[in-house]
Chain A
Amino acid sequence: MWRMSQAKLLYLLLFPSMLFVLAFSYIPAISAIYHSFTIWSGAQARWYGLGNFRQMLRDPYLNQSWVNMIKLTLANIVKMVVPLINAVFIYRLTNDRWQYRYRVLFILPAIIPGVVGALLWVNFLGLNGLINEVLRGLGLGSVARPWLGNFDYALYALMFMGFPWSGGTTILFYLAGLMNIPNELIDAARIDGVNGWQRFWHLELPLVMGQVKLFLVLTVIGNIQGFEGVLIMTRGGPGMATMVPGLHMYNAATQRQQMGYACAIGTFLFVLIFGLTYLNLKYVRSTVEFTS
C-alpha cells in the first residue's frame, strides 16, 4: 500500500521531465493538428475546416514535392545496398585487427558536421568542382555543367551526393547484427562447402533482415520529413525541381506566414510517418536487439 506522501515525492521528481515534454512536444503537437484546420498567420486563428487540405491537393509545388520525395526515397533505398555489402565483407575478414581498423575508418567521416558535408557537395557539384574536374580529366568536358543549377539534373545531383555511399553508422549497425550469428552455423556452412554467394543469401542476409527492415523504415521516414540538405544545397530549386514537402512546409510558414497551411502539411506528413512508425515498433523494432 502506497502512502500518499511517498508517491507525492515521486511525482515531484518526475515533474521537470514531464513539464518539458508537455511544453515542447505535446502542446505543439496538439497545436499543429488543431491549426491545420484553420487560417493562421500568427495572430488569431480562423476556422477553415478542411480548406487547407483541399488547397494541398491543388498546390502544384506540393504535387511536384511528392514526386521528388518518392524519387529521392527510392534512390536512398537502392543506396542502402552498399553499406550492407561493406558490413558483410568486414564480417568475413578473419583478422580481428583489420575488422577494427575498417570500423574506425568508416566511422571517421561522422566527425564532419552535416551542414559542412552538404556545403562540400555544393562545391563538388559546382562548375569547377570535383565532379566536373574528373569529367574533364576523362575527356568528357562537354558534359560538365553546374549540376545543382540545372533544371533537368539537379534532383539526380542530389541523389549522387555522398557517392559511393559507403555508409558509416549503418555499417556498424549491420555488423552488430552479423556478430550475433553463432560460430557453429558458420562452421557448419563451411563444412558443407557453401560458397560466398550462398552464404550471403541463406545465412547472413536472413540474420540481418531485422536491421535491414529497420533501416528501410528509418530511411523512408527520414525522407518524408527531412529537408535540411535540400534547403542548404538548392533551396528546392531551380524552379521547383528539387522541392520536397518538408521544405515546402517550412517556406509556407517562414516566407508566406501561412501557418495554418504549414500545419496542415505537417499533420499530413505526421499521419504518413505515424503509420510507418507504428509498423516499425510493432513488427520490426522488436526483432532487433539494442546493441550499443
Chain B
Amino acid sequence: MTARRFSWSQFGLHIWLLVMVFGALYPMYFMFNMSLKSTIQMEYGIFRITLPFEWNNYTSAFGQVWRYMLNTIAIVFLSGVPMLVFASVTAYVLARYKFPGSEIIFMSFLGLMMIPGILTLIPRFMWVVQLGMSNTWWAVILPYIAGGQSFNMFMLKTFFEGLPEELFEAARLDGANHIGIWRLIILPLSVPILATLAIMHTLGVWNDFIWPLMVLISNDIRTISQAIVFLNTTGQFPTPGRAMAGNVMASVPLLIMFIFGMRSFISGITSGAVKL
C-alpha cells in the first residue's frame, strides 16, 4: 500500500465515526460485561470488569434457553424451506410464461404489499383459533410460509427475468419439464439470492415476538424471542447476571450467521429494511 498523506479532514471523519461506532456497540459491551458478573460483583457497578468471570451464568442460562433456541431453529426450517420452494416456483412461472390470468395473478401478489400486518393481525389470530391450530407450531409455520410469498417472490421474479431465454430453450429441447427446469437451472443459479432470502427469513422468525406470543401458549413450544421476554419479565432467571447471559445466548446463532455469511447477511438485512 502506498503511504497516504495525513489529512486533517480525514482525521476528523475518523473521530466522528469512531465515536458513532462506540455509540452503536456500547449496549453489547454492557450486556456482555453484566453477563459475567455474580450478584455481588454487580454491586461494584456495571462499568468495571470484575474478576473472576462468572462463567457459571452461561451454563445455568443455557439450561433455560436451549429448548427455545432449538424450537425456533426447527420453525425456521419447517417454514423457510416450503416458503422458498413455493415462492421460487411461483416466481419462475410468472417470470417466464404469459398465459390467461397470469397478469391478474401477478397483481394479486402485488396487492399484498398494500396489506399491512396490523390489519390482519387480529382476524388471522381468530382464524388460526377457528382452524384449531392455536397452541401448535402450525399456527406459526403456516402464516410464516404465507408471509414470505409476496416479497420473496418479487425478488426472485426480478432475478429470473434477467436470465437468458437460451438457457431455458436448451433445457426444453433436452426434454426437461417444468420441475426439471426448476431443479436443474433455477435452483442452482439462484443459490446466492436464496441465501440472502433465507437469512432474512431466519432473522424475521428469530425476532418475531407478537405473533408467537398470541398463538403459542404452552411453555415448551415457545420461540426464543417470546421465551426471552417471558423469562426476563417474570423473574425466572435466578440472578441478573444469568438473565444477561441468557440474552447473549439468544444472539449467538445470529452472530454465527453473521460471521459465516457476512455478505448474504448484510444484503439480507438491507433488503429487509425496505420490506413493506
- List A residues at the B interface (Cβ < 8 Å): 2, 6-7, 9-11, 13-14, 16-18, 20-21, 23-29, 31-33, 35, 42, 82, 85-86, 89-90, 92-95, 98, 102-117, 119-121, 123-124, 129-130, 133, 163-170, 172-173, 176, 196, 214, 218, 221, 224-225, 227-228, 231-232, 246, 249-250, 253-254, 259, 262-263, 266-267, 269-270, 273-274, 277-278, 280-281, 288, 290-292
Contacts and interface: CB of A to CB of B under 8 A. Distances in A.
Nearest to A261: B122
Interface stretch (B52-60, B145-153, B164-172): B145-153
Contact of A119 (B116, B149, B232): B232
The secondary structure that dominates the B interface is helix
A23 B138 CA distance: 13
Contacts, number: 273
B260 interface: no
| Closest 4 pairs between A and B when the two form their complex, measured CB to CB | A24-B146, A31-B123, A225-B118, A28-B120
B51 interface: no
26 contacts: A9-B178, A11-B101, A14-B105, A21-B150, A24-B120, A28-B124, A28-B127, A33-B119, A107-B265, A107-B269, A112-B31, A113-B224, A115-B207, A117-B27, A170-B273, A172-B270, A173-B274, A227-B210, A249-B121, A250-B121, A250-B210, A270-B115, A273-B116, A278-B114, A290-B158, A291-B270
B163 interface: no
Contacts of A116: 31, 228, 247, 250-251
Interface string B101-126: 11001001100111111111111111
A2 B176 CA distance: 19
Contacts of A269: 116, 118-119
A266 B276 contact: no
Nearest to A106: B24
A17 B153 CA distance: 9
Contacts of B49: none
Interface of B: 4, 7, 9-10, 13-14, 16-17, 20-21, 23-25, 27-28, 30-31, 34, 45-47, 82, 86-87, 89-90, 92-94, 97, 99-102, 105, 108-109, 112-127, 129, 142-143, 145-147, 149-150, 153, 158, 178, 196, 203, 206-207, 209-210, 214, 224-225, 228-229, 232-233, 247, 250-251, 254-255, 257-258, 262, 265-267, 269-274, 276
